[in-house]
C-alpha cells in the first residue's frame, strides 16, 4: 500500500488511527503516516515530534499505541552524590529529566552538600508490590470465611500465583471484608522489575482459582482500589508499596553555613513550620515534605519509570533537626514503585540514563539492582529537600539582614 492513500483514508475517516500499523506493514511507517495525517488535519507541522531515535516497531504495543513520534524532555545530571546504602555505595551522577528551570541546579546543590558531608545513608525498609482484587461475596460471613480460606491455603494460592511469572513471587495477603465486598491485598516480591503486570496476572490467576472453588465469590475487578495503584491513599502510606525507602545525612555546621548560607536552627524552623504545621493545617495525607514530587518526576522521566507512579512516590515525610549546630535531615518514602528492568526502562534514552548509574537491567541477585536504584532515589530526594529548605531558610536570613539594614539611619 502507498502512503498517501492511507493518509487520505485517515482524513476521510475510512481508516481508524489504530488500524494503520497493520495496513502500513510496520509501526515505524505507521508512526510517520499518522503524523502526516495530523499535520494535514490540524494544518500544523510536527518535525520535532518526528525526529526521534525510537524504533516504533519495538515500541508499539509494548510502550505506546497510535504512535506519532516522541516527546523530548531535557535531561541533565546532578552529582556527584555519595550514597551509603546496603545495595548502592559510592558516588553517583543522577540523571533527571524536567522542563522546570532551577530544579536540577537546586538538586545538584543538595548533592554537593550531602557528598561533602560524607554521604547519605540510605536504606530499603520494605520491598513489596501489591494488587488487591475485589470480589463480590454474599456478605460478611462468607467474606470472612473466604479470607480465612486463603490464609489456610496460602501455599496452594502461592503456587497458583508463582506459576504465572518468572520473577514475581507471592509473599503475603491482607484481607479486608466490607459488606458484600472482599478485598484481598496480595503482596509480591518482584525482582528488578516494577511488575504491576506480573502482579496483575498472578492476581487474575488466583481470582480464577478462587472463583472455581467458591461459586458465590465473583471477581468484580482485579484491582479493587486497595492496591493502591496511582492514587493517593493512606493504606500505602501505612503498609508500604513498591520500595519503602529512607535516607538521612548529618551536615556539619560549617557546611550548612558555607554551602546553604544558613544555620541548622533556621532550617529546622522552616521544616517545622512549613512541612509539619503547614501540611497538617492543609489536611495533607502523606505530603509532609517540601517538593519530593519534583525530584520524583524528574528521576522517573529520566529512568523510564511509570510517570503516573509519581502520585505514590511523592508521599513522604521530611525531617530536619538542629543537632548542636549540625543539621540532621531525613526523608521517609513508603511507596516508591521502581524498576531497572522491563517497560519504560528498556527504551533507548531511559536505558542509557540507568546505565549512567550502572543500574540498568536485572541483577544476579533478583531485586538487588532495583533496591540500589531505590537507595539512590531516596538520597537524591533528600538532596532536593535540603536545597529547597536551605534556600527558604537563607532567604529568610537575608531578609532579616536587609530589614536590620533598613532600620539603620
Nearest distance, CB of residue 142 and a copy of itself, angstroms = 10
Element (H, E) at 388: helix 368-407
Nearest distance, CB of residue 4 and a copy of itself, angstroms = 19
Q: Out of 86, 141, 254, 401, which one is annotated catalytic?
A: 401
In terms of C-beta density within 10 A (0-12 exposed, 13-18 middle, 19 or more buried), how is residue 138 classed?
A: exposed
- Residue 405 DSSP symbol: H
Q: Out of 4, 100, 152, 254, which one is annotated catalytic?
A: 100
By beta-carbon proximity to a copy of itself, the closer residue of 5 and 358 is 358
By beta-carbon proximity to a copy of itself, the closer residue of 64 and 257 is 64
- CA dist list (Å): 394 to 248, 258, 261, 387: 21, 11, 6, 10
Nearest distance, CB of residue 153 and a copy of itself, angstroms = 19
CA distance 69 to 87: 36
Give the residue from 106, 121, 48, 62 showing the smallest Cα distance to 350: 62
By beta-carbon proximity to a copy of itself, the closer residue of 149 and 176 is 176
Q: Out of 306, 312, 335, 385, which one is annotated catalytic?
A: 306
Nearest distance, CB of residue 5 and a copy of itself, angstroms = 20
Among this protein's residues, is 127 annotated catalytic? no
Among this protein's residues, is 306 annotated catalytic? yes
Angle in degrees, 0-180, between the axes of helices 368-407 and 103-116, rounded to the nearest 10:
100
CB 129 within 8 A of CB 168: yes
C-alpha cell at 185: 491485598
The count of C-alpha atoms lying within 13 angstroms of the C-alpha of 311, restricted to the half-sphere facing its C-beta, is: 11
Among this protein's residues, is 100 annotated catalytic? yes
By beta-carbon proximity to a copy of itself, the closer residue of 14 and 231 is 231
The count of C-alpha atoms lying within 13 angstroms of the C-alpha of 111, restricted to the half-sphere facing its C-beta, is: 24
By beta-carbon proximity to a copy of itself, the closer residue of 24 and 302 is 302
Nearest distance, CB of residue 162 and a copy of itself, angstroms = 22
Which residues are marked as active site?
100, 306, 401
Amino acid at each position: 500500500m502507498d502512503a498517501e492513500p492511507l493518509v487520505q483514508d485517515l482524513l476521510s475517516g475510512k481508516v481508524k488511527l489504530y488500524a494503520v500499523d497493520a495496513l502500513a506493514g510496520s509501526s515505524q511507517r505507521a508512526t510517520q503516516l499518522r503524523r502526516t495525517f495530523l499535520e494535514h488535519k490540524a494544518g500544523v507541522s510536527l518535525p520535532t515530534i518526528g525526529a526521534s531515535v525510537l524504533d516504533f516497531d519495538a515500541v508499539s504495543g509494548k510502550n505506546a499505541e497510535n504512535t506519532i513520534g516522541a516527546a523530548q524532555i531535557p535531561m541533565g545530571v546532578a552529582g556527584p552524590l555519595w550514597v551509603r546504602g546496603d545495595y548502592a555505595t559510592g558516588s553517583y551522577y543522577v540523571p533527571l529529566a524536567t522542563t522546570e528551570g532551577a530544579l536540577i541546579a537546586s538538586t545538584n546543590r543538595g548533592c554537593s552538600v550531602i557528598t561533602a558531608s560524607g554521604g547519605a545513608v540510605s536504606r530499603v525498609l520494605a520491598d513489596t508490590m501489591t494488587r488487591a482484587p475485589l470480589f463480590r461475596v454474599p456478605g460478611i460471613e462468607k467474606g470472612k470465611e473466604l479470607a480465612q480460606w486463603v490464609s489456610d491455603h496460602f501455599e496452594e494460592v502461592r503456587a497458583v500465583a508463582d506459576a504465572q511469572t518468572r520473577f514475581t513471587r507471592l509473599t503475603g495477603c491482607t484481607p479486608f471484608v466490607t459488606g458484600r465486598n472482599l478485598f484481598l491485598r496480595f503482596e509480591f516480591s518482584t525482582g528488578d522489575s516494577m511488575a504491576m503486570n506480573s502482579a496483575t496476572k498472578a492476581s487474575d490467576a488466583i481470582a480464577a482459582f478462587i472463583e472455581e472453588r467458591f461459586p458465590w465469590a465473583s471477581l468484580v475487578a482485579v484491582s479493587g482500589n486497595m492496591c493502591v495503584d496511582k492514587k493517593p491513599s493512606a493504606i500505602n502510606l501505612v503498609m508500604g508499596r513498591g520500595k519503602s525507602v529512607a535516607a538521612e545525612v548529618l551536615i556539619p555546621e560549617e557546611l550548612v553555613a558555607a554551602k546553604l548560607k544558613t544555620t541548622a536552627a533556621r532550617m529546622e524552623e522552616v521544616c517545622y513550620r512549613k512541612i509539619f504545621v503547614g501540611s497538617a493545617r492543609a489536611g495533607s495525607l502523606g505530603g509532609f515534605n517540601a517538593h519530593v514530587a519534583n525530584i520524583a518526576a524528574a528521576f522517573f522521566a529520566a529512568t523510564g519509570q511509570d510517570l503516573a507512579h509519581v502520585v505514590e512516590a511523592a508521599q513522604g515525610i521530611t525531617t530536619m533537626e538542629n543537632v548542636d549546630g549540625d543539621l540532621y535531615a531525613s526523608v521517609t518514602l513508603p511507596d516508591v514503585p521502581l524498576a531497572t528492568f522491563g517497560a519504560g526502562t528498556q527504551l533507548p534514552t531511559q536505558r542509557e540514563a540507568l546505565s549512567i548509574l550502572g543500574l540498568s537491567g536485572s541483577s544476579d541477585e533478583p531485586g538487588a539492582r532495583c533496591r540500589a536504584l531505590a537507595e539512590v532515589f531516596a538520597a537524591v530526594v533528600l538532596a532536593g529537600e535540603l536545597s529547597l529548605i536551605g534556600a527558604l531558610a537563607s532567604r529568610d536570613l537575608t531578609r532579616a539582614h536587609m530589614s536590620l539594614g533598613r532600620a539603620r539611619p
